[in-house]
Structure 1
Amino acid sequence: MKRWPTKPLGEVLEISRERIEPAKYPDTLFNYIGLEAIEGHTGNLLPYQPTLGAEIKSTKNMYHHGEILYGKLRPYLNKVHLAVDEGICSTDIYVLRPRERCIHPSFAANYLRSSSTLSAVTGAMAGANLPRIGHESLLGILIPLPPLAEQERIVKLLDEADELRKLRAQADRRTADLIPALFHEMFGDPVTNPKGWPESSLGHVLSISRERIDPANCGGTFFNYVGLESLEGHTGNLLPYKPKLGPEIKSAKNVFNPGEILFGRLRPYLNKVHLAEAKGICSTDIYVLRPNSERLHPSFTANCLRSPYVLSTVSSAMVGANLPRVSPGALLGIKIPIPPVELQGEFAEIASEIRQLEAIQTNSRARLEAIFQSVLHRAFNGEI
């Protein structure tokens, strides 16, 4: 095993201070990346649309090709992206610029995404409600530094391993597209309602649960606590999380039960909608929706709430500049088609079979990720 020399990140990377106020260029289209556009652990950039300067509030960081975007807010989400173009990003993202001829950008990005870095930054977070990693803590982390030629060899090896992850992700996306396609085939577009189903506002067919609990008063009780970060956008999947002791959870939380729907009201354009399969508690930035069982099947309801129609409607109804939310009235006022409950049930049965296939693929993805992390660990320890 080779032992590479180590250096603090601050000796091989610097934090860019280049900023811009997009509002001063109202007609210019910017590649604007928020934290939500960076996929955790993989570094992939999720689909986004260029944004007019007039629509972007406050000063933003600028980034260029070969620089690294590192999510400093909730760093345990492990959002690290190597830029392949130029644009602007949220100030909740550090823009890290490799010092010339010191380090290969992809080598640095992979190390920042590694389990050892993730462990270090998670232990150095500050702030209870909005935990962040300070720049001094981040730049003080040690990174192994082999010669540039060796870095390039390691990068090539990691790129080849990452291709397998990308192929797995492509297959997963195709499966994820099956349920929306099935929904559209069986019920049509909710906007045009081509099948002529009777329509109703959401407020007449479901309600927002007001059931709450203060976990801190529950001593040694463990809770299934779901925060917004635990909900995967657009798919409805619940990301891995661990039960928490009541005293570790600050302030009152919403209670949810199986068959109820968790709808992210903060930044609703992230499209975080999950059908609960177990009892738990969640952030108050999440509405807990309780469908009327005589009118709506929970699976149909969740998929309807995840549809482009509802997404577009709630996104246009957001209020608040820095922390945009959708109000209860705006959400419950949305009209949707109401097909027969029996047909909704048929949809739910087929969707359940697809979900089982997704679960198998998730296990496969987890095994592949474990292999990739093993390769990553061995590469940075000079074992390959």
Structure 2
Amino acid sequence: MSKWPLRKLGDDEICILNPKKAEVAGLANDTPVSFVPMARVDEISGTMNVSESKNLGDVRKGYTYFAEGDVVFAKITPCMENGKSAIARNLINGVGFGTTEFHVLRPRNLVTSEWLRLFVRDKNFREQAKKNMHGAAGQQRVPVDFLRDSQIPVPPIHEQHRIVQRIEDLTRRMEEVRKLSAQREEELDIFLHALYVRMLEGVVWKPLKEVASLFRRSIKTEPEKSYEEMGIRSFGKGTFKKPVLSGKQIGNKRIYAIHEGDLVFNNVFAWEKAIAVAKAEDHGRVGSHRFITYVPKKGRATSEFLCHHFLGDRGIEDIRAASPGSAGRNRTLGLNKLAKILVPVPEYNEQKRFSEIANRRQTIQQQNLGLKEDFKTLYSSLLAKAFRGEL
């Protein structure tokens, strides 16, 4: 419950919804205006990139009109759920056009652009918007009637400015912390790659099967037992926890146990860098029959070094050559071809040192992911307090 009075977004004193293109009817067709596709709206920062321009005559029809200071709000799934919304700033000639998947909110006397933007970015508002979407799956949209009837807390203008400023100050500090942490991760990435390049000098190359063993720990499922599944992100982004499944849900599908330190390939997306080393928290989780697990031979290789190689240019090129097909699930990594791929085999002690640094980098990466989630939670909490009148 908010201590501020509530008003409908559609009230004349609050905002105009989807202003009419008739406002620019008097402008010549060769007037340059800003053009903003959906991809130019950043759901993290809540800003839009207005660097692209088009002549007004090219966008009068088939696009959504907005002007300086308007708030654009993505109405289609999943852009709306992801928080794509922004204030139109620094538009060419004060005019912008963009995708038809925008709703436009123009602030009136009682609210500011910044207050409106915070409101439509609020998690509670977006959850309600999702419940009111219309349309077929994958093409659902927020109807304008939902916006018109939604109630927004309306503090005095000076309070809106104060609250917005406080939230911006706090989020700026959070962003500074995130950037510093990301910089540490980037510096370790650069160091690891330099170390890897140096380790390749004069190194012997051997088939993967000579330095690591294919090791699959088959599990016999029980209907009433629960199994925590592990997933692998593409593009070298590591592992993640998938939902817990019961043996009944798994049915007759084959699953295999994952242990910490395993080098794991997703055989249908390895070509897309779905390759990772199982972390400590992955120990005991399960993978589907699509997962290929290798255990390095002691004294010959480490998982971290091999993984780094396979995610690099030469390694991923070999993985793709061993994954025939066109794309997606048609590109399956062959077991025999994988076993025969040549990999560099530096001195084992050098690989162990590399692994120590790689594990440090992974720890920082996990901390960064945790920070990102913590910041999302904190931001949602700040907005909730703001609209209750507690900030």
TM-score range, shorter chain: 0.5 to 0.7
Work out the number of aligned pairs and report it.
Answer: 333
1:224 alignment partner in structure 2: 228
User: 2:379 aligned with 1:372, yes or no?
Assistant: yes
- What TM-score results when the alignment is normalised by the length of structure 1? 0.60
Contact 1:197-1:339 within 8 A present in 2 as well: yes
Runs of 5+ in structure 1 lacking a partner? 15-29, 51-60, 87-92
User: 2:152 aligned with 1:144, yes or no?
Assistant: yes
Greater alpha carbon shift after TM alignment, 174-183 vs 139-148? 139-148
Contact 1:2-1:382 within 8 A present in 2 as well: yes
Q: Secondary structure at the match of 2:296?
A: coil
Matches within 5 A, 1:89-104: 95-101=101-107
Greater alpha carbon shift after TM alignment, 374-383 vs 149-158? 149-158
Residue 124 of structure 2 aligns to which amino acid in structure 1? Answer: S
Runs of 5+ in structure 2 lacking a partner? 19-34, 53-62, 92-98
Greater alpha carbon shift after TM alignment, 198-207 vs 254-263? 198-207
Displacement after TM superposition at 1:109 (Å): 5.4
Greater alpha carbon shift after TM alignment, 111-120 vs 340-349? 111-120
Per-residue Cα deviation, 1:28-74 (whole angstroms, up to 9, x for no partner): xx998879x977xx3589xxxx9xxxxxxxxxx99999644577249
The CA distance in 2 between the partners of 1:268 and 1:32, in whole Å, is: 30
Contact 2:302-2:351 within 8 A present in 1 as well: yes
Q: Which structure would you say has the larger Rg?
A: 2
2:296 alignment partner in structure 1: 293
User: 2:261 aligned with 1:257, yes or no?
Assistant: no
Q: Which residue of 3, 6, 12 corresponds with 1:4?
A: 6
Residue 140 of structure 2 aligns to which amino acid in structure 1? Answer: G
Contact 2:224-2:247 within 8 A present in 1 as well: yes
Per-residue Cα deviation, 1:337-368 (whole angstroms, up to 9, x for no partner): 23233322222223334444555566555555
Greater alpha carbon shift after TM alignment, 340-349 vs 147-156? 147-156
Displacement after TM superposition at 1:170 (Å): 0.8
Q: Secondary structure at the match of 1:98?
A: strand
Per-residue Cα deviation, 1:311-330 (whole angstroms, up to 9, x for no partner): 67778989657x58743159
Q: Cα gap change, 1:241/1:291 in structure 2, threshold over 3 Å: closer, same or farther?
A: closer
The CA distance in 1 between the partners of 2:131 and 2:214, in whole Å, is: 37
The CA distance in 2 between the partners of 1:63 and 1:247, in whole Å, is: 53
Q: Cα gap change, 1:185/1:70 in structure 2, threshold over 3 Å: closer, same or farther?
A: farther
Q: Which residue of 199, 203, 208 corresponds with 2:205?
A: 199
Residue 227 of structure 2 aligns to which amino acid in structure 1? Answer: F
Displacement after TM superposition at 1:188 (Å): 0.6
Q: Secondary structure at the match of 2:6?
A: coil
Q: Cα gap change, 1:126/1:167 in structure 2, threshold over 3 Å: closer, same or farther?
A: same
> What RMSD, in angstroms, separates the aligned Cα atoms of the two structures?
5.6
1:183 alignment partner in structure 2: 192
Displacement after TM superposition at 1:310 (Å): 4.7
Percent same amino acid at aligned positions? 14
Matches within 5 A, 1:58-207: 67-69=72-74, 72-73=77-78, 78=82, 80=84, 82=86, 95-101=101-107, 107=115, 110-117=118-125, 119-120=127-128, 132=138, 134-136=140-142, 140=146, 142=150, 144=152, 146=154, 149=157, 154-188=163-197, 194-200=200-206
2:346 alignment partner in structure 1: 339
Contact 1:75-1:133 within 8 A present in 2 as well: no
Residue 236 of structure 1 aligns to which amino acid in structure 2? Answer: G
Contact 1:72-1:133 within 8 A present in 2 as well: yes
Residue 305 of structure 2 aligns to which amino acid in structure 1? Answer: F
Displacement after TM superposition at 1:336 (Å): 4.0
The CA distance in 1 between the partners of 2:266 and 2:372, in whole Å, is: 26
Displacement after TM superposition at 1:95 (Å): 3.5
Contact 2:219-2:256 within 8 A present in 1 as well: yes
Greater alpha carbon shift after TM alignment, 366-375 vs 162-171? 366-375
The CA distance in 2 between the partners of 1:80 and 1:70, in whole Å, is: 9
The CA distance in 2 between the partners of 1:268 and 1:183, in whole Å, is: 22
Per-residue Cα deviation, 1:246-270 (whole angstroms, up to 9, x for no partner): 566799475450224254855965x
Residue 225 of structure 1 aligns to which amino acid in structure 2? Answer: E
Per-residue Cα deviation, 1:63-115 (whole angstroms, up to 9, x for no partner): 99964457724987x363648899xxxxxx99323233468666555445433
Residue 304 of structure 2 aligns to which amino acid in structure 1? Answer: S
Contact 1:226-1:280 within 8 A present in 2 as well: yes
Residue 144 of structure 1 aligns to which amino acid in structure 2? Answer: I
Q: Cα gap change, 1:299/1:199 in structure 2, threshold over 3 Å: closer, same or farther?
A: same
